[in-house]
Amino acid sequence: MAEDSEKVPRTKKCPYCAEDIMEDAKKCKHCHETIDVVLKAAEEAKDVNQHVPTVYLNAGSVVGEIKSSVTASQPLAEISEAGTYWLPIPSLVIGIITALALLDDSATDTDTLIGLFTFVAAGLTLGIISISRQNKGKGMAIAGIVLNAVSLVCWVGTLTK
Ligand SMILES: [Zn+2]
């Protein structure tokens, strides 16, 4: 008897049409509804994806144009306006200080030279970051880079003396 019950196909009722279907059925053979939860979710997701472009198209090309122009111009506006003087000014100041210090003959001991090199490296880095990331204070950043580069040359000159 136990064997018999095992052989009998296990069925359940379709939640959509109440007909008996196989328990493992992913789709109902009577109403063709998707029973499997995962499969159903996948089909619904596919359905949504297919409808989204249609909705966008129906919204009109004007909306699409506004949207694309806003997203295209936003990064440019951010770069030119959201700049900070905290990059070019320190770069310029460091450039001036190190250039003056290195042109002065007293700055010849190793400790001072190492300290100055750190300053020059920082000044150069700040100037380069400033130029690559923003338009604000570009002149100062260029002057800073030039001064720091000059300082670097002086630094190398002092070192090899
Ligand atoms: Zn059904």
Measured over the CA atoms of residue 35, residue 36, residue 37 and residue 43, the dihedral's sign is negative
CA of 34 to the centre of ligand 1 (A): 8
Q: Could you tell me if 93 and 154 lie in one domain?
A: yes
Q: Quick one: 92 and 40 in the same domain?
A: no
- Rounded distance, CA 101 to CA 151, Å? 9
> Quick check: is 3 in a domain?
no
Q: What is the pTM of this model?
A: 0.47
Residues with CB under 5 A from ligand 1 (ion): 14, 16-17, 28, 30-31
- What pLDDT digit, counting tens, does each position of 103-112 carry? 776 656 778 8
122 in a structural domain: yes
Is 72 inside a domain boundary? no
Q: Are residues 106 and 152 in the same domain?
A: yes
Whether 83 contacts 136, CB under 8 Å: yes
Same domain, 42 and 103: no
The domain of 28 spans 9-56
SS (H, E, C) 93-122: HHHHHHHHHHHCCCCCCHHHHHHHHHHHHH
Residues composing the chain: 161
Give the number of domains in the chain: 2
Residues 107 and 45 in one domain: no
In a domain, 77, yes or no: no
- 20 CA to centre of ligand 1 in angstroms: 8
Backbone angles phi, psi at 102, to 5 degrees: -75, -30
- Tens digit of each residue's pLDDT (9 = 90 or more) over 6-50: 567 789 999 999 999 999 999 999 999 999 988 988 888 887 776
